[in-house]
Structure 1
Amino acid sequence: MKPLTRLAPVVMLLTLGLLALQPANAVTVIDPTNLVQNILTAVRTMEMINNQVSQLQNETQMLLNQARNLAKLDYNAVNRLRVTLASTERLLAEAQGLAFDVQRLDREFARLYPAEYASGISGQRLAQEARERWRSGLDGLHTALRVQAQVAQNLALDESVLSELVQLSQAAGGALQATQATNQLLALQAKQSIQAQQLQITQNRAIALELARQAAAAEEARELRRRFMGSGTPYTPYPVQFYR
């Protein structure tokens, strides 16, 4: 209202000036008060229109910001992460020897790594099981090395995905794009964590197989020694005199 109040004297002066410039025979009867009110009303109307225009511009900008915040990220790295993770899972499924299935592992472990050998077991059976234990340990080491090699190959792809996601996150035009980029970065981190667990499993499996083989070899040696010594009365040395 202050701008309108300041305009009132100016409008009055302009009105009086126009009246003074007109010739005497052309003077028109004008109500100054009515003229001032009309001019003030027009000024108020213009200000109202300007305010409405500003409001519409603000609402338009708000809608544009909401549209940017709701825009989806045109990038999805989840399928690529699944492919690389499936490569290490396939290596675990192809592992020979003692399986990763609990029930099957219990049966094979009880057969190849007994806590005590039966007295009736043959020497050929002992040799055969010892060779199977050696093969299981060798397979454990082979599986661990294969998983290590596959993880090393996957690192190049992980670095590429990480670089692309960071760039997309920094260039995100809205909150939804930034959130989606962050979620995919978390998916990459989870994938690497699972891959590290798979690698740790294969390494620990190889170590466990070697320790079990050593324990079974000790028990086998004890059984062979018992058979060699026999179950009868051991020989007792005593002095013998050959010459009187």
Structure 2
Amino acid sequence: MKFSRFRDALAAGAAVLSMTATVLVPAPAYAQFGGIVYDPSNYSQNILTAARTLEQINNQIKSLQNEATSLINQAKNLTTLPLTVLAPLQAQIRQTQQLLAQAQRMAYDVQQIQTQFAAQYKNIDLTAPQKALVAGAEDRWKTSVGAFEDALKVQAGVVGNIEGARTSMNELVTASQSATGALQAAQAGNQLLALQSQQLSDLTAMMASIGRAQSLDAAQRAAAQEQGREQLRRFLTPGTGYKPGNASMFRN
């Protein structure tokens, strides 16, 4: 009888110890609500993953924006200048060339200059009759006067091109200042250089025409001096110089 009571007491103590152990053991870090298991550690990990993914998406968006900006800038740099002054500049150069081509009596040609200059100025036949010498002198004088006239025409043409050059320069400077890209700025600069080249060609043509006139005038004076000495020699040579004679001023 005592043994059975002792056995019952042991069983009751074991049950109490089992319940105490169950209470003392820590519960796992999750809970269940309506059939859904909530794990705090897993939830925080998911939040970190979502944040990293969002950051990657933002970086990709910024990269795409930078690429779009770069493409826009490249498109601007490849945009051509809507203004060109090449045609009027070429027209001005052709006008100056036409004025040079109108050179009287002795053109701007090396072979023609060699032939005509030798005939008119270098190889003068001082043994020719007086009438031929006078005609040659007159011909050289006309060539010299024509050269000065040609120079004046070229100078007038160059002065006339100044207004066109001013207009072109204003248009190009305005286009350069409002250029949207590197290509437009470069094209405006190239056309400004073309304008300077046109002005230099006008200046070259003007100096060439003035130099031509001065050279022909100097050659004419040198030939006149040589011919004058020959004519004076003839005049002073006994028997072949001046002989007085009767002159009739009025006809009967």
Alignment of 1:128 onto 2:116: no
Distance across 2 between alignment mates of 1:167 and 1:208 = 44
Q: Deviations over 1:56-89 (max 9, x none)?
A: 0000000100110111111211111010111111
Alignment of 1:148 onto 2:155: yes
Structure 2 alignment gaps of length 5 or more: 1-28, 240-252
Residue correspondence of structure 1 range 41-120 to structure 2 within 5 A:
41-114=49-122, 117-119=125-127
Conserved 8 A contact 2:126-2:227: no
Tell me by how many angstroms 1:204 deviates: 0.8
Aligned to 1:236: none
Tell me by how many angstroms 1:118 deviates: 3.5
Conserved 8 A contact 1:144-1:199: yes
- In structure 2, the CA distance between the partners of 1:44 and 1:122, relative to structure 1 (3 Å rule), is same
Aligned to 2:246: none
Residue correspondence of structure 1 range 1-244 to structure 2 within 5 A:
28-114=36-122, 117-119=125-127, 121-230=128-237
Deviating 4+ runs (over 4 angstroms): 24-28
Q: TM-score with structure 1 length normalisation?
A: 0.81
Q: Deviations over 1:177-205 (max 9, x none)?
A: 11110000000001111110000000111
Distance across 2 between alignment mates of 1:221 and 1:32 = 126
What code does the residue aligned with 1:106 have?
Answer: Q
Structure 1 alignment gaps of length 5 or more: 1-15, 233-244
Structure number, greater radius of gyration: 2
Conserved 8 A contact 1:162-1:185: yes
Query: What is the root-mean-square deviation of aligned Cα atoms in Å?
Result: 1.9
SS in 2 for 1:29: strand
SS in 1 for 2:82: coil
Q: TM-score with structure 2 length normalisation?
A: 0.79
Counting aligned pairs with the same residue, the percent is 42
Distance across 2 between alignment mates of 1:159 and 1:117 = 52
The number of equivalent residue pairs is 210
